[in-house]
Amino acid sequence: MKRIVLFLATNLAVLIVLSVVCSLLGVDRYLTQRGLNYEMLLIFAAVFGMGGAFISLATSKWMAKMSTGAQVIHEPRSAAEAWLLATVEREARAAGIGTPEVAIYDAPEPNAFATGMSKNHALVAVSSGLLNSMNQDEIEAVLGHEITHIANGDMVTLTLIQGVVNTFVIFLSRVIGFVIDNALRGGRDDRGGGVGIGYYVSSMLLQIVLGFLATMIVCWFSRWREFHADAGGARLAGKRKMIAALERLKALHEPSTLPQNMAAFGIAGGVGQLFATHPPLELRIQRLQQSA
């Protein structure tokens, strides 16, 4: 979950910063000088929407290390770290990708994530809780799951989806903001073109709200890809080990240690399921048991 939550949080922050900068530079005034220029707005939305998503991807490894305190293993200090490095290297070779950086971060919950801008320059991080609560077979399967995410290019595909979503969020927030601004002025143009404060306030608020709601699409993609990553973990480590790892995660499930501002993305039940980044463990185990 950390991989997706960090990406979504970074993307939203980048979009807000880019929007503020564009407003200060007068881009919105240019787009609305003679009414709303829909063609130029769509081009602007696509450039900044895709750009914001790829900035998030480019900074994903740095953000992950900074936010979790993950320490990259350069030289193993124990037999456990040496085994971890060797297992990641072996599975990466089997998956046909470059060996990712391997890191450990301090957290009581059993968890792991993979991130990075390309298949050959990625990061795999595991929590201390995972290392302390799972045996080597189960850890091997978890690592295979994360390696599969990298080999399948899930982060790049997620970025492309997020870029398209960003484009529509930027475009729609400004179109609706323009309509709201006109309604507040009663359709009068008392400034000789351009827009008023109603446009800037409403478009910014709408961008945040629509951006949050649009995460449902990204979360749906994330849930769908988890099944593929489970299947990949089963191929790399063995089906029995992958099922055992999921069953252990289910048994060891603890409250998340994610920061409070990120925990909202993981709410359970009702509408919260639309924002879940992972399918229920029971369903993932069932899919693996039924697979050939």
Cα(84)–Cα(76) distance, rounded to whole angstroms? 9
The answer to whether residues 126 and 145 touch, using CB atoms and an 8 Å cutoff, is no
DSSP-based three-state secondary structure for 186? coil
Exposure letters 111-138 (e unless 16+ CB within 10 A, then b): bbbbbbbebeebbbbbbebbbebbeeeb
The residue length of the chain stands at: 292
- The DSSP code sequence of 167-180 is HHHHHHHHHHHHHH
Compute the 3-state secondary structure of the chain and give helix, strand, coil in percent, each to the nearest 5: 70, 10, 20
Specify whether the CB–CB gap between 79 and 102 falls below 8 A. no
Residue holding tokens 């201390």? 128
Query: CB within 8 A of 229, min separation 6: which ones?
Result: 145, 146, 148, 149, 152, 154
89 catalytic, yes or no? no
Catalytic residue, candidates 89, 146, 226, 247 = 146
Nearest to 168 by CA among 103, 229, 218: 218
Residues designated as active site: 146
